[in-house]
Amino acid sequence: MMGVRRRPQNPSSPGEPAKSQKQNLKASDALPLPLYLTNGLFFTLFFTVAYFLLHRWREKIRTSTPLHVLTLSEIAALFSLFASVIYLLGFFGIDFVQSFVSPNNARAPHDPWNDVVAVEQQPKIDVVRVASLSAAGGGASSEADEHIIKSVMSGTTPSYSLEASLGDCRRAAAIRREALQRTTCRSLEGLPLEGFDYESILGQCCEMPVGYVQIPVGVAGPLLLDGEEFTVPMATTEGCLVASTNRGCKAIHVSGGAQSVVLKDGMTRAPVVRFSSAARAAELKFFVEDPLNFDSLAVVFNRSSRFARLQRIQCAVAGKNLYMRFTCSTGDAMGMNMVSKGVQNVLDFLQSDFPDMDIIGISGNFCSDKKPAAVNWIEGRGKSVVCEVVIREEVVRKVLKTNVAALVELNVLKNLTGSAMAGALGGFNAHASNIVSAIYLATGQDPAQNVESSHCITMMEAVNNGKDLHVSVTMPSIEVGTVGGGTQLASQSACLNLLGVKGASKDSPGSNSRKLATIVAGSVLAGELSLMSALAAGQLVKSHMKYNRSSRDVSKLACPS
Give the residue numbers marked as catalytic: 238, 370, 446, 544
Contact 181, 159 (CB under 8 A): no
Buried b (16+ CB within 10 A) or exposed e, 410-447: bbeebbbeebeeeebebbbbbbbbbbbbbbbbbbbbbb
Q: How does strand 228-235 pair with strand 217-225?
A: antiparallel
Q: What is the DSSP letter of 226?
A: T
Cα–Cα dist 489/550, whole Å: 36
Under 8 Å between Cβ of 479 and 447: no
- Are the C-beta atoms of residues 431 and 527 closer than 8 Å to each other? yes
Q: 232 — phi, psi (to 5°)? A: -95, 120
Angstrom CA distances, 223 to 227, 232, 251, 424, 483, stand at: 10, 7, 9, 29, 23
Q: Do residues 140 and 174 lie in contact, with contact meaning Cβ atoms separated by under 8 Å?
A: yes
Q: Report which of 449, 205, 421 is spatially closest to residue 336, judged by C-alpha positions.
A: 449
With the CA atoms of 419, 474, 392 and 437 taken in that order, what torsion angle do they form, in degrees rounded to the nearest 10? -80
HSE of 279 in the Cβ direction (CA atoms, 13 Å)? Answer: 0
